[in-house]
């Protein structure tokens, strides 16, 4: 009897089925697990949100920010030194007839000669702008934002230097202006950098581009 069973073969047992062959229910459960894992990773059409990396991409633009700021600041400082040395107490120099002149003016107010009675307040505002830009630089990944903030920082530093070191006193110094278009206020390169940087910031904000390089849509 035992010999007959050996020749014919014994029926499959659960233990015997587990060696070298996968049970149907195990294969089905594995397929379900794989399917659920794939859907969990954000497969389209499953209703699950797709996993995204929320961190900014690219590299920081701190170097660009400070390079632009340094260039704008140096250019403003050099031109003011030349104006004070060569143009102050001298007749204006006509560049384009009466439409554009170089004329040395001491301005105690804000950009373009506004608010001369609030020199100290404008000095504090300029200092606050510099601090804010310096703090924002830590999360700056956008190149256009680096250019805009660099111009803003360089212009603010240029006029703040005049406020601190020029007469009549510390934090009350008059800014040197010299670009005098016809029918317009006299200004300097620092004012121009501030205005250009401000315009660029407004455009970037309208486009939804943030300083960290991400784009948002309202």
Is there a cis peptide before residue 168, judged by omega within 30 degrees of 0? yes
Rg (CA), the chain: 35
Range 178-193 average pLDDT: 93
Higher-pLDDT residue of 49 and 218 is 218
pLDDT bucket at 111, cuts 50 / 70 / 90: low
Residue 151's pLDDT is: 97
The answer to which of 29-43, 48-62, 99-113, 175-189 has the lowest mean pLDDT is 29-43
pLDDT confidence bin for 38, thresholds 50/70/90: very low
pTM comes to 0.69
The pLDDT value recorded for residue 37 is: 45
Question: How many whole angstroms separate alpha carbon 1 and alpha carbon 10?
Answer: 12
Full DSSP string of 106-160: EE-SSGGG--GGGHHHHHHHHHHHHHHHHHHGGG---HHHHHHHHHHHHHHHHHH
Are 197 and 150 in contact by the 8 Å Cβ rule? The answer is yes
Segment 68-84 shows an average pLDDT of 97
Would you name the residues annotated as active-site residues? Answer: 177, 191
Q: How crowded is the C-beta side of 18, counted as CA atoms within 13 Å?
A: 3
Q: At what angle do helices 143-165 and 62-82 cross, to 10 degrees?
A: 40
Average pLDDT over the chain reads: 78
Is 40 a residue whose pLDDT tops 80? no
pLDDT at 185: 86
DSSP label of 83: I
Confidence check: pLDDT of 19 > 50:
no
Q: Which of 11-15, 118-122, 165-169, 196-200 has the lowest mean pLDDT?
A: 11-15
The count of C-alpha atoms lying within 13 angstroms of the C-alpha of 85, restricted to the half-sphere facing its C-beta, is 6
pLDDT of residue 49: 44
Tokens of 214: 């991400």
State the Cα angle at 140 between 138 and 142, rounded to 5°: 170
- Region for 174 from its dihedrals, namely left if φ exceeds 0, alpha if ψ lies in -120 to 50, beta otherwise: beta
With 70 as the cut, is the pLDDT of residue 155 above it? yes
Q: What is the mean pLDDT of residues 92-121?
A: 78
- Kindly report, residue by residue over 127-154, the tens digit of the pLDDT: 899 999 988 888 899 999 999 999 999 9
Percentage of the chain exceeding pLDDT 70: 68
Nearest to 215 by CA among 148, 136, 44, 206: 206
Residue 21: what pLDDT? 47
What is the spatial distance between Cα 218 and Cα 210, in angstroms, rounded to a whole number?
A: 13
pLDDT (0 to 100) of residue 71: 98
Most confident of 30-34, 52-56, 161-165: 161-165
């Amino acid at each position: 009897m035992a010999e007959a069973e050996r020749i014919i073969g014994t029926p499959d047992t659960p233990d015997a089925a587990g060696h070298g062959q996968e049970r149907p229910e195990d294969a089905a459960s594995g397929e379900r697990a794989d399917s659920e894992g794939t859907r969990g990773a954000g497969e389209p059409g499953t209703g699950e949100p797709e996993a995204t990396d929320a961190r900014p991409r690219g590299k920081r633009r701190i170097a660009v920010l400070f390079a632009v700021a340094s260039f704008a600041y140096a250019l403003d400082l050099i031109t003011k030194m030349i104006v004070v040395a060569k143009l102050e107490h001298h007749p204006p120099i006509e560049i384009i007839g009466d439409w554009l002149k170089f004329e040395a003016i001491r301005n105690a107010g804000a950009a373009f000669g506004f608010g001369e009675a609030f020199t100290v307040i404008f000095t504090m505002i300029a200092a606050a702008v510099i601090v804010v830009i310096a703090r924002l630089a830590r999360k700056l990944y956008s190149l256009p934002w680096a250019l805009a903030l660099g111009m803003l920082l360089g212009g603010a530093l240029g006029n703040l230097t005049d406020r601190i070191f020029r007469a009549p006193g510390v934090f009350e110094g008059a800014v040197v202006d010299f670009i005098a278009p016809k029918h317009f206020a006299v200004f300097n390169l620092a004012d121009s950098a501030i205005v250009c940087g401000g315009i660029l910031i407004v455009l970037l904000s309208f486009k939804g581009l943030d300083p960290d390089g991400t784009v948002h849509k309202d």
